[in-house]
Homo-oligomer: A and B are copies of this chain.
Amino acid sequence: MQVEPESDAMAGEHSVSEDPSSQSAMQFGEYKDSLVATISQHLDLKHHCTSSAAYRIADLGCFVGPHTLDAMRTITEAVKDKYKAGGQSFGIPEFFVYFNDRVTNDFNALFAKFPEDRQYFAAGVPGSFHGRLFPKASLDFVYCSKAVHWLSKVPEEELTDPNSAAYNPDRISYINAPTAVCDAYLGQFTKEMESLLSARAQELVHGGLMVLVIPGRANGTQYPSVSQVFMPLETILLDLAKEGMVSKNKVDLFNVPMYFPSPEELKNIIIQKTVGFEIVELSTFTRSSLPVFPTEVLRGAYGGLLTKHFGTEVAEQALDRYEKEIPTLRLRNPAEGNGVFIYVTIKFKKS
């Protein structure tokens, strides 16, 4: 029933949370309080514990911890507090937490980290969150942090066709690209968000909540913080082409499968492209002051992508140069400071 995308640029290469644009730059602690407040304010107990004894939570794109374990502890404790405060006659429920990530995620490593004192039952659910993963109306709460900006694929046919308006040579992303390129990326992101939300609309109970944390960019700007990685990497790859280490065509065909939406874009998708979801809160966090990305983090996040497209030798050369250039990379472009994290809570109402 769950079929992984056949030709998935990401599968097996790396996992969402290794992304330096998210993992190292914004730790869970920075929005833990928001999560507690969301549950306190927006969780409506009357929608839960009527059809089932357990409160069921899914973390989509969980990776191997420790972020997911911190988040699940926070959510279960906040829901318990809400029940206690509500004085519900049916008592505090048991919890069942589903840890989801692609089938190539290292679930063995995650399971080995489960804390002995965890206060929930736990399962690993392998598969793409762009499709169905759970039975109908079987989730009370969905959490998805720093995962949806990874696209399951880039819109290849548009970006790599010289006759297309969205042909994207000389660049590895939509940053500094013509509008048509940005639109192609946004189109792919929109399609994937629609898949994700339409699957969850089947799986969430009426009144169920979904919290998404998404690395994005400020309204009206083009630069997510990750520009600081993409732009020098782009220059390095073009230099390698000029030097004949790799064909120019090969570089032109390389596009990173990531999109960093603005709050406005995200609102439009949720409100206009899906049915049944209501935005109950949306806030942005300016990301913590951005350190230069160390090469080993870059290697973990993009090494797989580079190797898959260019082969080991060229990928290693690009990473080596990046390492040498690190001292010159910081604040190369002042506009790069517009990166934000978008924290959005949506509620599902069955029609």
A51 to chain B, nearest CB (A): 6
Q: How far is the CB of A286 from chain B (nearest CB, A)?
A: 37
Q: Does A118 contact B (CB under 8 A)?
A: yes
Would you call A96 and B138 a contact (CB within 8 A)? yes
A 112-142 binary contact with B (CB < 8 Å = 1; else 0): 1010111111111110000011111110000
Which residue of chain B is the closest to A94 with respect to CB atoms? B135
Q: How many residues of A contact B (CB 8 A)?
A: 37
Q: What are the residues of chain B within 8 A of A92 when measuring CB–CB?
A: none
Complex Cα distance, B124 from A108, in Å, reads: 10
Asked if A189 CB lies within 8 Å of chain B CBs, one says no
Contact (A54, B138) CB under 8 Å given A98-B123, A122-B125, A123-B123: yes
Q: Is A253 part of the binding interface, using a Cβ–Cβ cutoff of 8 Å?
A: no
Residue pair A96, B134 in contact (C-beta under 8 Å): yes
| Bound Cα distance from A81 to B95, whole angstroms | 32
Given contacts A1-B118, A112-B103, A116-B3, contact A125 B123 (CB under 8 A): yes
**A53 at the A/B interface (Cβ < 8 Å)?**
yes
A and B contact pairs by CB, cutoff 8 A, 14 listed? A3-B116, A51-B51, A51-B52, A53-B135, A54-B136, A94-B135, A96-B138, A107-B111, A111-B124, A114-B126, A121-B125, A121-B134, A122-B125, A124-B124
A-B pairs with lowest CB-CB distance, top 7: A54-B135, A123-B123, A111-B126, A94-B135, A124-B124, A123-B125, A53-B136
